[in-house]
């Protein structure tokens, strides 16, 4: 585990969805204070109540997206690509000086097993361009099965963490480790294009080989080097 300062309160914007809900569960179980955000504050509150009941002693609340982002020191964005820009615009006033962890994959139905990156190069770069230099965007968690995150099982999956500031990447590496994942620094935010594109490859492989929780593992580096 990396000895770094992870904000004690983390907001999961899109925390009522599959990926966001899984991250919320794992981070709450790890002892962090979690704020679930949703466009529907009542839906967020209901999800928080359910999660708190499932994890006695955990600290979970639910709020609207902007309020959730305002209440946390670090914000995770876990919404479908179709809602990416609108959600960023909604929560932007609450992100100044913070790290935004963007988990977005630019999947464009119906051909989600085909790589379709946006004109900006990738979703994470689009987020950074929209938010400006006052927000530090770090990209992670694109290649982790949402179903796996929602379980309490040990996860056999690695996380690629990209971003332009090494210190911010290190925070997110630590966050992933708190969630029970092995995480790796994977370079600048431009490199998020590889992780985002890889999700479509994994979807194709799931369909082709009958997989369910296909993920990635990094080999050839010593176990002690992760992070």
CATH of the domain at 18: 3.40.50.720
Asked if the model's pLDDT at residue 35 lies above 90, the reply is yes
Q: Is 137 part of any domain?
A: yes
Strands, DSSP E only, in the chain? 9-13, 33-38, 59-64, 74-77, 99-102, 136-139, 158-163, 182-185
What is the per-residue pLDDT across 141-200, written as a single tens digit (0 to 9) for each?
Answer: 999 998 889 888 888 899 999 999 999 999 999 999 999 999 999 999 999 999 999 999
Report whether pLDDT(213) > 70.
Answer: yes
Assigned domain for 132 exists:
yes
Exposed (0-12), middle (13-18) or buried (19+): which is 225, by Cβ within 10 Å?
A: exposed
Is-contact 181 151, C-beta < 8 A?
Answer: no
Q: Give residue 189's domain range.
A: 9-221
Contact (Cβ atoms closer than 8 angstroms) between residue 62 and residue 44: yes
Over 90: is that where the pLDDT of 103 sits?
A: yes
Higher pLDDT, 4 or 215: 215
In a domain, 85, yes or no: yes
At residue 5 the predicted structure's pLDDT band, cuts being 50, 70 and 90, is confident
CB 85 within 8 A of CB 57: no
Residue 3 domain flag? no
pLDDT mean over 37-51: 98
226 inside domain: no
* pLDDT the model gives residue 227: 61
With 60 as the cut, is the pLDDT of residue 224 above it?
no
DSSP string of 53-108? Answer: HHSTT-EEEEEEHHHHHHT-SEEEE---GGGHHHHHHHHGGG-TTSEEEE------
pLDDT for the residue 194: 97
In a domain, 2, yes or no: no
Domain assignment present for 103: yes
Question: Is 3's pLDDT higher than 60?
Answer: no
Q: Name which of 76-90, 128-142, 209-223 the model is least confident about.
A: 209-223
SS3 202: helix
Residue 87 within a domain: yes
Number of domains in the chain: 1
Distance of CA 63 to the CA centre of its chain: 18
Collapsing DSSP to helix, strand or coil, 19 comes out as: helix
Give dist(CA 199, CA 203) in Å, integer: 6
Q: What is the mean pLDDT of residues 35-45?
A: 98
Confidence check: pLDDT of 1 > 50: no
């Amino acid at each position: 585990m990396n000895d770094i300062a992870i904000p004690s309160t983390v907001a999961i914007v899109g925390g009522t969805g599959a990926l966001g809900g899984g991250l919320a569960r794992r981070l709450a179980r790890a002892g962090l204070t979690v704020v679930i955000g949703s466009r529907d504050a009542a839906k967020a509150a209901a999800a928080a109540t359910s999660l708190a009941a499932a994890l006695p002693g955990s600290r979970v609340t639910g709020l609207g997206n902007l309020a959730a982002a305002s209440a946390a020191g670090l914000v995770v964005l876990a919404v479908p690509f179709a809602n990416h820009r609108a959600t960023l615009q909604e929560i932007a006033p609450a992100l100044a000086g913070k790290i935004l962890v963007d988990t977005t994959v630019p999947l464009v139905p119906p051909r989600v097993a085909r790589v379709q990156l946006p004109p900006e190069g990738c979703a994470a770069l689009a987020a950074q361009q929209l938010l400006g230099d006052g927000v530090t965007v770090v990209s992670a968690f694109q290649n982790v099965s949402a179903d796996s995150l929602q379980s309490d099982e040990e996860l056999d999956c690695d996380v690629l963490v990209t971003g332009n500031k090494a210190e911010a990447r290190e925070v997110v590496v630590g966050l992933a480790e708190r969630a029970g994942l092995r995480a790796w620094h994977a370079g600048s935010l431009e490199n998020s294009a590889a992780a985002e594109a890889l999700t479509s490859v994994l979807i194709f492989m799931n369909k082709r080989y009958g997989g369910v929780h296909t993920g990635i593992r990094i080999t050839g580096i010593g176990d002690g080097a992760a992070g």
